[in-house]
Structure 1
Amino acid sequence: MFGGGIFDGQGSIAYEKNTCENREFRSKLPVNIRFDFVTNALIQDITSKDSKLFHINVFACKNITLECLKIEAPNESPNTDGIHMGKSEGVNIIASDIKTGDDCISIGDGTKNMVIKEITCGPGHGISIGSLGKFQNEEPVEGIKISNCTITNTSNGARIKTWPGEHGGAVSEIHFEDITMNNVSSPILIDQQYCPWNKCKKNEESKVKLSNISFKNIRGTSALPEAIKFICSGSSPC
């Protein structure tokens, strides 16, 4: 799939209504582009603009490459993740420019053996593993390499987020390296007390086990004094 076309979600008509109090409205919003149960594919040189929800959703796919993509939405647009994936293996995201109101790239459960490189991210919430641990029977996330990326004017940079309490899971062999941060509020963050809207069991520890996580050659500037923050689970320490 290639050719320089634009998928325009005309999301501005939905952004004001997409609030925490209006979850029924949010549940009906469309994703700009979906790839479900796709094997051996190349998605190249397309643009996703102003999605009402996620720009690109990748689910249960194997051996696909997304390359030279342009993704754009306003900084204040809610839940407009650039690329979200889950239960997929062998996905490559390469040489793409992502500007959005949520995670530039978010990696859900069951994602394995993935390469993310040469990404320009910002504005947005950075590149995130998770959130994980909210639902029962989540599959492990393992073998993810993020490298040679530039993250600018985002709330987070390289992030792993899991819910407190709730359910178990596993995250392993996650490697962030050769990443430049420019004016990022939380450049490096492990948050095992992730609790948006205070809708969680904050008095309980996360049951998601993190292991073999590395951050190598991360450089740049932090917008806040604390550039590195590890909020680890007491029951399943980082």
Structure 2
Amino acid sequence: MLKPIVFYGPCQSKMLFHVEGKVVGPKHYWEFGKSGFWILFYKLEKLTILGGTYDAQGSDYWACRKSQSQCSQGTKSRNVVVKGIKSLNPQMFHLAIDHCHQVLLKKLYIEAPTRSPNTDGIHIMSSEGITIAGAVIKTGDDCIAIGPGTKNVHIRGVGSGVKISGVTYRNIHGTSASPIAVKFVCSASRPCTGLQLHNVRLTYHKAIASSVCTHAGGGVSGVVSPRSCFRK
């Protein structure tokens, strides 16, 4: 059993954190104390995290919800590769990327019960240059959550749903290549919510363009053309 642990930087050379077996977290939530994480990598550069299964045994917390611990977290780190890991049953987020730059997440398997609360698969905050390349995500909350201050996120090969919410499109002017200038097509199971259009003006060959929305909701401000189709 592994209790909360921190790997502190900075370090001078490249680092490899390689797990070939299974790492198990404390069964009882109170064993985390006041820690907000289970495994934390802090201020590290040129770090590779490879392989292994991480089972945080979060069911005790889901029933009580007094702790807010995340499974694995990288904070203020650069040039990080996370490859081939399996994350199971976190108390909250499986993987949290906070104030990091140039992170590659590859060949991940992430799973928690459908009714496990706040168990985001990958939670990205105030980070830049994040690539997710190949992941199977089955969890109780957002599969991939992108928070404020995050830039340049590339996602491909994710075998799960991605929910889009809280995105603002601001000061966009120009000409559309098709009559439908604005198009939001989202899934019924994970609709787009909290979308905002501010001063968006698009035309089609100097004519009025149109907009199409499917399972998308939000609001508008300023001058918006074509007219918003958001559901209320």
TM over 0.5: yes
CA contact (8 A) 1:31 1:57 kept: yes
Unaligned runs of 5+ in 1: 19-24, 129-158, 163-169, 173-180, 193-205, 213-226
> Which runs of structure 1 show a deviation greater than 6 angstroms over 4 or more consecutive aligned residues?
none
2:92 aligned partner = 53
The 1:89/1:11 distance shift into structure 2, 3 A limit, reads same
Matches within 5 A, 1:21-40: 25=66, 28-40=67-79
**2:13 corresponds to 1:8:** no
Alignment-mate amino acid for residue 4 of structure 1: G
Q: Displacement, 1:231? A: 1.9
Q: Secondary structure at the match of 2:159?
A: strand
Matches within 5 A, 1:120-135: 120-121=159-160, 126-128=161-163
Post-superposition CA distance 1:133-161 (Å, at most 9, x none) = xxxxxxxxxxxxxxxxxxxxxxxxxx223
C-alpha distance in 2, partners of 1:104/1:51?
13
The 1:14/1:211 distance shift into structure 2, 3 A limit, reads farther
Unaligned runs of 5+ in 2: 1-47, 171-185, 202-212
Q: Displacement, 1:41? A: 1.2
Matches within 5 A, 1:76-95: 76-95=115-134
The 1:231/1:70 distance shift into structure 2, 3 A limit, reads same
1:233 aligned partner = 219
Q: CA RMSD in A?
A: 3.0
1:147 aligned partner = none
Give the TM-score, by structure 2 length. Answer: 0.58
Give the TM-score, by structure 1 length. Answer: 0.57
2:165 aligned partner = 160
The 1:187/1:15 distance shift into structure 2, 3 A limit, reads closer
**2:68 corresponds to 1:68:** no
Q: Secondary structure at the match of 2:61?
A: helix
**2:80 corresponds to 1:41:** yes
Matches within 5 A, 1:88-103: 88-103=127-142
Alignment-mate amino acid for residue 194 of structure 2: D
CA contact (8 A) 1:186 1:228 kept: no
